[in-house]
Chain A
Amino acid sequence: MTPLSALNKLHQKGLFGDYKNKNEIISVSELKNLKIIQIFHYRKSNIKISSINLDNIKFPENSMQVNSNDETRILWNGPNNWLIISKNKDILKKIKKKCDDKNFAVTDLSHSRTVIELKGNNSKEILKKGCPINFNEFKLNNCANSVFHGITITIDMTDENLETLRILALRSFGESLYHGITDACLEDGYQGI
């Protein structure tokens, strides 16, 4: 069985909107086949979170912080709570080895999220149109949970030179979020890839 992505019938490739230079416009894409795992560390656990290493990545302990390597990113999601986003299909096995079920709640959310990636020099400007986060202080390897036109989203900044933002929302909100994002992009045009 092949999994169908959330925007499977919706996302269109090509150039849209009022662009002036098509080499400088924002690209909008759907990220597929990512493993998305939520981890909760029980309050009564005796394990120190700083002692855990997942593929040489530590769990971030400060708000908005992301620790990462080439294939896996660990996002701070709240106190004792993280979101792991990985290209590695076997990451769940690795996590379960490090985080046993006496001390951690590990939930696979891969099937239940839509992931949209914005890439371009003004990606933040798109989100500013509907999200109250202070993006002037939003840097590389920052993440935040917030809202975009009333939809609860998680934002993860994966590149700073060419501003790259991943936006995650519940899969059922994917269509609505996609329309919101692409509508915000129309002013300066976007490329669906």
Chain B
Amino acid sequence: MLEIKCPYCGKRSQNEFSYGGDASVKRPDLEKEISDQDWDNFVYFRNNPRGKHSELWQHISGCRQWFKVSRDTVSHEIFKTAKLNEEL
């Protein structure tokens, strides 16, 4: 089991959290022409890296906040967690 440090509550067990996907995905700018290919990439395509990965998690059974986690997809080591408005 992972222990994840919520930036608001501190260290808690993984089963209080839910995974929210890749944190590096950026929505294409509003009011800008965008190709189907770019939209497709934003909606469906994700990298599946081996090693360090930036992720979104939510403390769903705790303070209910979303935050960022930098995690190793091989060893599951968590390097850092940060609020959404902070740098990872």
Footprint of B on A, CB under 8 Å? 63-64, 77-79, 81, 132-134, 144-147, 152
Which residues of B sit under 8 angstroms from A79, Cβ to Cβ?
8, 63, 65
Which residues of B sit under 8 angstroms from A144, Cβ to Cβ?
9, 62
Which residues of A sit under 8 angstroms from B9, Cβ to Cβ?
63-64, 144
The answer to whether A152 and B61 touch across the interface, beta carbons within 8 angstroms, is yes
Which residues of B sit under 8 angstroms from A152, Cβ to Cβ?
60-61
Check A81/B63 contact, CB under 8 A, given A63-B8, A63-B9, A63-B10: yes
Footprint of A on B, CB under 8 Å? 8-13, 15-16, 60-65
- Pull 8 A–B residue pairs with CB atoms less than 8 Å apart, ordered by A: A64-B9, A78-B8, A78-B62, A81-B63, A81-B64, A145-B63, A145-B64, A146-B12
Which residues of A sit under 8 angstroms from B62, Cβ to Cβ?
78, 144-146
Which residues of A sit under 8 angstroms from B64, Cβ to Cβ?
78, 81, 145
Add 6 more A-B contacts to A63-B63, A134-B11, A152-B60 (CB < 8 A). A132-B15, A133-B12, A133-B13, A146-B61, A146-B62, A147-B15
Query: What is the number of contacts between chain A and chain B, taking CB atoms within 8 Å?
Result: 39
Which residues of A sit under 8 angstroms from B12, Cβ to Cβ?
132-133, 146
- Separation in Å of the B22 CB from the closest CB of chain A? 24
Give A144 to B9 CA distance when docked, in angstroms.
Answer: 9
Give A77 to B64 CA distance when docked, in angstroms.
Answer: 9
Which residue of A has the minimal Cβ distance to B13?
A: A132
Check A132/B16 contact, CB under 8 A, given A63-B9, A63-B10: yes
Give A77 to B9 CA distance when docked, in angstroms.
Answer: 10
Residue of A64, A79, A81 with highest tally of chain B CB at under 10 A: A79
Give A134 to B62 CA distance when docked, in angstroms.
Answer: 14
The answer to whether A147 and B65 touch across the interface, beta carbons within 8 angstroms, is no
- Separation in Å of the B5 CB from the closest CB of chain A? 12
The answer to whether B15 and A78 touch across the interface, beta carbons within 8 angstroms, is no
- Separation in Å of the B68 CB from the closest CB of chain A? 15
Which residues of B sit under 8 angstroms from A132, Cβ to Cβ?
12-13, 15-16
The answer to whether B16 and A77 touch across the interface, beta carbons within 8 angstroms, is no
The answer to whether B63 and A77 touch across the interface, beta carbons within 8 angstroms, is yes
Which residues of A sit under 8 angstroms from B10, Cβ to Cβ?
63
- Separation in Å of the B64 CB from the closest CB of chain A? 6
Check A147/B8 contact, CB under 8 A, given A132-B13, A132-B15, A132-B16: no
Which residue of A has the minimal Cβ distance to B6?
A: A63
